[in-house]
Amino acid sequence: MAETLSSEHYSPIVIDHFNNPRNAGPMEDADAEAFVTNPVCGDSMRLFLRIDRDCNGDRVAAATFLASGCPATIATSSVATTMVRGRSLDEALTLTRDDFADAVGGLPKSKVHCSVLAAAAVRNAITEWRATHG
Where are the domains positioned within the chain?
A: 12-133
pLDDT of residue 6: 55
Distance CA 119, CA 89 (A): 13
- Positions annotated as catalytic residues are 41, 114
Q: What are the tens digits of pLDDT across the range 2-57?
A: 455 555 589 999 999 999 999 999 999 999 999 999 888 899 999 999 999 877 78
Distant-in-sequence, close-in-space partners of 70: CB < 8 Å, separation ≥ 6: 3, 41, 43, 111, 114
What does R_g of the chain's alpha carbons equal in angstroms?
A: 14
Q: What is the pLDDT of residues 61-107, one digit of tens each?
A: 999 999 999 999 999 999 999 999 999 999 999 999 999 999 999 99
Give the global pTM. Answer: 0.90
- CATH for 12-133 is 3.90.1010.10
